[in-house]
Amino acid sequence: MKKLFTRPIPVLLLLFVLLFCEKEFNGERPFVRLITLPPTDLNAEGVTLNGEFLDLSGDIMNDYGFLIDAENIKPDVVKNPDILKFSLKTETPKLGRFSFRAEYSLSVGQTYYIRAYAIQGNNFILGEEFSFVSKGGAANPSITSFSPVDIVPGDTLTLVGQNFTLGLPRLSAYLAGKEAEIVGTPSNTQLKIRVPLGIPLSGKIQLTVGFISITLDKNYQRLKPDMLKVPGTVKYGASFLVECKNLSKIFGSNEVVIGKNGIYQSCLVLQQQKDALLVKLDDSNDYDPERGDSLFVFAAALPISSKVNIAKPEISGISPALVLPDDEVTLVCDGISTNKNVTKVSWNGAEIPSANYSIGATGKQVTLKVPYWGNIPGTIKVMVRSGQRVSNEMSTRVVVDLLTLNEEQKDWKYAFNLNDKLFIGLPSGEFPFEYLDPSKKASGLQRISSSSRQIFEHAFPTQNDQLLALSVENNSAVEGQLLGILANNTAQLIAKSTNKIPLSANSPATLKIRALLLKTTL
């Protein structure tokens, strides 16, 4: 006759358990001792599990019964909270044999491993292990119906059937292979689950109770999302409503982007409403509407789209109307990004550095400082660009901040610009030049001294803080010198002409230079 279960050498295993327990508790206090006995009455309706208490010493027993698994049950089973237990804690433990008739969560032909257990305080005591090959059970779970049939991610799906709780804590549900969250506490006849993300449009519902897995023949149907209404034009700084139906009800799973051909830039979903999303352009994104982009909603990965335009930024006001260099100008704007990498400001056609302007937190105001150098009195046009869209022009007028110079110095012979400084020629050999630094507000003239004590009639800037200075002798000849302007406000001779150049006799009032050969004399 074929044996229905296998039994290891019980004496040795019992000795192992006893020794293990002795080692675990070091004999500091007595504890319960138990053994596992062979299963009996194995048939198509179930199996009877048996154990025996050899000693009930120690603390009050919290729980006892049988552990069952499709794999060997290791001594550290306490670390596995999902192992299936047939608990007898409602029955008062007595010295001698105890049994449990298992008639559920058993698959036909499956080998199962069992161990008697007891929990006493913090101690988990195990009997030895037996195994048996199941012939089935009389109380296996089943699903009779579910609702609703048409679903979206985030919906609550209700399963109706029987024996749902017999396999606790091993209870799980799946939609097309995606595990679903169990909502609330299941009853023996009803189970609620949350529809997960990532499910296909149609699929099977599967339930695992204990060791039994069942699949319902009828498929669920995931509803396709549909775009109802989208604004034709959107702009930075303003939220807008994207009306859709059949969106995922899991917040964060509905993504809104703008783009085409797989190149997308994301938008911010501020709020999810019933059949609508409150959306805002992301200030950090430089959207490119010139590509004929569309606004896409990915409702838990299922895309729907509609054409959309990005509004041009607009300047509605500028103040003050008259400004001086270093003054602040305020622009009243709409439809601009608050990110300086996206929003740029142009002053008279030239883009100014981002350090020279600031953008208000709401994107409704831009403040910039009037540059000192490079501005001449007159009307200045200001524009703002956000992304690829350019605003209208708004004008302000720059006026001159006049300087009062030394009234005794009325006859300057020439003026030139060298490295953004204004140089003026003086009729003095000791101080042949003065200069004005426009980058310093209300600055006065600074004198450049020269050791040559020569008066120059003309000077021309060259490069590297150098200038070509010309002096005229007796209105008939010109001598040239190459001077370097040093940081200590002195002029240093670098080179001079080897010969004097005669002036043209045809036009005494006009200085004409035929040639100049420079020779280093340092």
- Counting as low any pLDDT under 50, the low residues of the chain are 1-28, 507-522
Tokens of 206: 């599967």
- As a whole number of angstroms, the distance between CA 268 and CA 417 comes to 51
In this predicted structure, what is the pLDDT of residue 182?
A: 94
Three-state SS letters, 450-463: ECCCCCCCEEEECC
In this predicted structure, what is the pLDDT of residue 56?
A: 92
Say if CB 289 and CB 189 are below 8 A apart. no
In this predicted structure, what is the pLDDT of residue 410?
A: 59
- Burial grade of 287 (CB within 10 A; 0-12, 13-18, 19 or more): buried
Three-state SS letters, 58-124: CCCEEEEEEEEECCCCCCCHHHCCCCEEEECCCCCCCCEEEEEEECCCCCCCCEEEEEEEEEECCEE
Pairing outcome for strands 61-69 and 84-87? antiparallel
Look at phi and psi of residue 56 and say left if phi exceeds 0, alpha if psi is from -120 to 50, else beta.
alpha
In this predicted structure, what is the pLDDT of residue 142?
A: 87
CA distances from 112 to 131, 136, 186, 213, 366 (A): 5, 11, 26, 16, 74
Say if CB 275 and CB 244 are below 8 A apart. yes
DSSP code for 291: G
Say if CB 340 and CB 356 are below 8 A apart. no
Query: Across the strands, what pairs with 113?
Result: 69, 131
- As a whole number of angstroms, the distance between CA 99 and CA 84 comes to 16
95: Cβ–Cβ under 8 A, 6 or more apart, which residues? 53, 54, 55, 56
pTM of the shown model? 0.58
- H/E stretch holding 473 reads strand 466-473
- As a whole number of angstroms, the distance between CA 372 and CA 347 comes to 12
Residue 338, CB-side half-sphere exposure with 13 Å CA sphere: 11
- As a whole number of angstroms, the distance between CA 288 and CA 186 comes to 51
Cα angle 20-26-29, degrees, rounded to a multiple of 5: 110
Cα angle 114-118-122, degrees, rounded to a multiple of 5: 130
Tokens of 51: 């154990």
Residue 131, CB-side half-sphere exposure with 13 Å CA sphere: 14
- As a whole number of angstroms, the distance between CA 353 and CA 372 comes to 14
Question: Chain centroid to CA 62: how far?
Answer: 49
- As a whole number of angstroms, the distance between CA 365 and CA 313 comes to 12
Question: How many Cβ atoms are within 10 Å of 80's Cβ, its own excluded?
Answer: 11
In this predicted structure, what is the pLDDT of residue 409?
A: 56
Question: Chain centroid to CA 281: how far?
Answer: 15
